[in-house]
Amino acid sequence: MSKPELQHCSITENGDGIVWLWLDVNGARANTLSTALIAEVEQALDYIESEQPRAVVIGSRKPGFIAGADVHELGDLDSIDQAEALIRRGQQLMDRIAALAGPTVARIQGHCLGGGLELALACRYRVADNEPSTRLGLPEVKLGIHPGFGGSARLPMIIGAPPALDLMLSGRTLDGRAARRMGLVDHAVSPWQIDEAARRLALSDPGPRRARGWRKLAGSAWARPVIRPFMERQLRAKVRREQYPAPYALLDLWARHGGDPLPRRLRAERESLVRLVEGDTASNLIRVFLLQDRLKDEARASRAAPADHVHVIGAGTMGGDIAAWLALNGCRVTLVDERNEAIASTLRRARELFERRLKKSAKVTAAMDRLIPDPRGRGAARADIVIEAIVEDLEAKRGLYAELEKVIGPEAVIATNTSSLPLEELASGLEQPGRLIGLHFFNPVAKMPLIEVVAGDSSTEDAIARGQALVAAIDKLPLRVRSAPGFLVNRILMPYMLKAARLYAEGESRERIDQAARHFGMPMGPLELADSVGLDVCLAAAETMTQSQEVEIPERFHQLVREGRLGRKSGHGFYEYHKGKPKRQGVRTDDATLRRMGQELVQPLIEEAERCRDEGIVADGDLVDAGAIFGTGFAPFTGGPLHYRESRSSERASEGDAVSSG
């Protein structure tokens, strides 16, 4: 048979009996296991099956192997039949690879995730390079699904059930060395050795890896019923089945079918995955993934040059952490504060962050070298962007900008981190008001994925685009918002926190209020959140935002601030704190009460989200949902507050139809 003409793959042979199949999806930055790629690998397999080479190596011509399924295609699936057909086709492809007569080797560099790792698991051997950019994992649970191309069955057979379940339930990824220690790959080598390592493995064919010892025993018929309840308890402490069914489905699959022959396990995997795809969580989490992609794409589309040098003014809670994050992500940063001890404290915090994230001392040193203490503020003159994070005081900020404009370059952008001051008032004294934008980071900077890019009335498109490009370059999600009190995120959070404060003032237990919010799926209760932000900060923000609205701030809130009970930082707030942790009292509450109170708490947030959409604070409703999920942690399984509101009203409408037709 002659070699097929392929667009997304190529086949090379060197005369030693090995066929090298190279994946390289045309016109894409990364390979994804789309139906187009599946179709071409099928054609390549027709050729390989007819030629019967001594061995096959599958690699990628791109920096990554396969980054997973094509999530856009998953989002476009119209029917369950289509989903079932796609899963069946993927399983058949992996079965064909596994059934090839000669040895097969996956040659892995870069991302090898989801369907990509399932393809590698269908090969007899796997070789990865040991660069930090190489990541292996099955993160499907993050999309509300689980592996469907044989991964849930093959992974436990190769590395044993406990590590396999841990990888699939957490969705975490491993580098080459960690994958080697776990037995997931046969060798982890330097990038320059990877071709030779793959070639040798293919020719020597020493026999595939299989789980042995306790790892094999843990999957046996007597061990599964013992291990399952233990793992289920751990799972229940993290997520609820009705909100996140995928990890529970994975556990069920293994407990019921872990001992079955492979074809039966594959059928069970397929059926279980189809049930998940039918449910709301999967489509909502796929929506969240696509929203995240949209924010990144919009920043990339701006095509503004990324900033080389950023000057940060103010090394307090926010400015210090912003400077450290910028340096961690490759920017050269100069940092000034009127207090030298604030700069010193930032350098200490930055080193801890770099050591945690970068591990290798040479990289930590390089990042520290990028973060330059600049007590005289000389860096401002050379900066592409100046980020201002000084105290929240209009006159102090305006005075600073007047001085700044005398020294910064004509093209330099000034970005303020203000939470509540109107950009129009801040810009009014500037000679070039168009250069002022907002870059509103959230606290804690290292953990929060979103940054609001605030466009004031006079901000130029160029300044906004440069702000967005900086946000994208430091691995955060930029959300363009219109300048208005509270922007988007604080504005929708405020009525939610005030509702909680009102319930508390009416005598409801604070523990029950916070528990109800978490029961709904929020990452933290509103009272704990207010305490950690600082009650004085919350009150000031609430007062600014409620000026134009008829929202009442409970007297109890004012009283707490008057008494100096400012939250975690003062050791008292809604809670009492011991060593930074709130002292909670146990309360027992039934599910129905928690559900009712959870709804009551998020209702004002949802209504405010609708107003933000109607007032055009962001471009459309999807972006309101994106801001709520990535900025407030709003229960991701719902797909965002507006999407949640819409699906609940259509649910109610169909219940109504059922009642009237019944």
- Enumerate the active-site residues: 440
The Cα 372–Cα 377 span in angstroms is 10
Q: Which residue's Cβ has the minimum distance to ligand NAI?
A: 316
The CB-of-484 to ligand NAI minimum distance in angstroms stands at 16
Q: Report the residue count for the chain.
A: 662
Site stretch for ligand NAI (CB under 6 A), options 350-358, 383-391, 617-625, 630-638: 383-391
Q: Between the CA of residue 380 and those of 107, 374, 406, what are the distances in Å? A: 47, 9, 10
Considering the complex, state which of residue 233 and residue 376 has its C-beta at the smaller distance from ligand NAI. Answer: 376
Helices (H), 443-575: 461-473, 489-505, 510-520, 526-533, 535-546, 555-562
Task: Between 25 and 390, name the residue whose CB sits nearer to ligand NAI.
Answer: 390
Q: Which residue's CB is nearer to ligand NAI, number 341 or number 431?
A: 341
| C-alpha–C-alpha distance, residues 570 and 566, integer Å | 6
Return the number of the residue (229 or 444) whose C-beta is nearest ligand NAI: 444
Closest CA to 451 of 470, 475, 477: 477
* DSSP conformational letter for 141: G
Task: Judge contact between 244 and 236, C-beta under 8 A.
Answer: no
Q: Which of 418, 458, 515, 632 binds ligand NAI (CB under 6 A)?
A: 418
Contact 329/491 with Cβ under 8 angstroms?
Answer: no
Cβ-based nearer residue to ligand NAI, 20 or 442 = 442
Alpha-carbon span 327 to 348, nearest angstrom:
14
Considering only 25, 100, 202, 390, the residue that binds ligand NAI (CB under 6 A) is 390
Report the C-alpha gap between 440 and 418 in whole angstroms. 7
Nearer to ligand NAI, 95 or 392 (CB): 392
Q: Residues 85, 99, 217, 396: which binds ligand NAI (CB under 6 A)?
A: 396
- At its nearest, how many Å lie between ligand NAI and the CB of residue 313? 5
- When the beta carbons of 336 and 545 are compared against ligand NAI, the nearer one is 336
Neighbours of 208 (CB within 10 A): 15
Distance CA 132, CA 110 (A): 8
Q: Identify the residue whose tokens are 């947030």.
A: 605
- Provide the 3-class DSSP secondary structure of residue 190: coil
The one-letter code for the residue type at 353 is L
Residue with tokens 């405020």: 494
Query: Considering only residues 519-578, where is the footprint of ligand NAI by CB under 6 A?
Result: 533
Minimum gap (Å) between residue 322 Cβ and ligand NAI = 9
CB of 485 to ligand NAI, least distance (A): 13
For ligand NAI, give the closer residue by CB, 380 or 516. Answer: 380
Answer whether 153's CB lies under 8 Å from 134's CB. Answer: no
Cα 609–610–613 angle (5° rounding)? Answer: 90
Give the nearest distance from C-beta 404 to ligand NAI in angstroms. Answer: 10
Ranges within 85-144 binding ligand NAI (CB under 6 A): none
- Residues 247-306 within binding reach of ligand NAI (CB under 6 A): none
**H-helix or E-strand spanning residue 304:** none
**Of 16 and 338, CB closest to ligand NAI:** 338
Whichever of 56 and 421 has its CB closer to ligand NAI, that residue is 421
> Could you count the other beta carbons within 10 Å of the beta carbon of residue 24?
16
Full strand arrangement of the beta sheet holding 173-174: 111-113, 135-137, 173-174
Minimum distance from CB of 602 to ligand NAI (Å)? Answer: 22
Q: Which amino acid is at 21?
A: L
Piece of the chain touching ligand NAI by CB under 6 A; list 237-245, 417-425, 428-436, 559-567 = 417-425
Q: Is 443 in the site for ligand NAI (CB under 6 A)?
A: yes
When binding is defined by CB under 6 A, the residue of 400, 439, 474, 530 that contacts ligand NAI is 400
In the complex, least distance from residue 337 CB atom to ligand NAI, rounded to whole angstroms = 4
Nearest of 25, 96, 27, 14 to residue 60 by alpha carbon? 25
Nearest distance from residue 398's CB to ligand NAI, in Å?
11
Size of the site for ligand NAI (CB under 6 A): 24
Angle among Cα 487, 489, 494 to the nearest 5 degrees reads 95
Cα–Cα nearest to 58, from 4, 114, 103:
103
Q: Which is nearer to ligand NAI, 184 or 494 (CB)?
A: 494
Q: Which residues pair with 385 in a beta bridge?
A: 310, 413
Binder of ligand NAI out of 31, 284, 334, 417 (CB under 6 A): 417
Residues 299-358 that bind ligand NAI (CB under 6 A): 313-319, 336-339, 342
CB 246 within 8 A of CB 141: yes
- To ligand NAI, the closest distance from the beta carbon of 552 in angstroms equals 24
Question: What's the closest the beta carbon of residue 534 comes to ligand NAI, in angstroms?
Answer: 7
CA distance 512 to 361: 46
Asked if 478 contacts 627 with a C-beta cutoff of 8 angstroms, the reply is no
Question: What's the min distance (Å) between Cβ of 496 and ligand NAI?
Answer: 17
Neighbouring CB atoms inside 10 A of 543's CB total 12
- Give the β-pairing of 371-373 and 385-388: unpaired
Measured between alpha carbons, how far is 152 from 172 in angstroms, rounded to an integer?
15
> Are 178 and 112 in contact, with CB atoms under 8 Å apart?
no
Chain residues binding ligand NAI by CB under 6 A are 313-319, 336-339, 342, 389-392, 396, 400, 417-419, 441, 443, 533
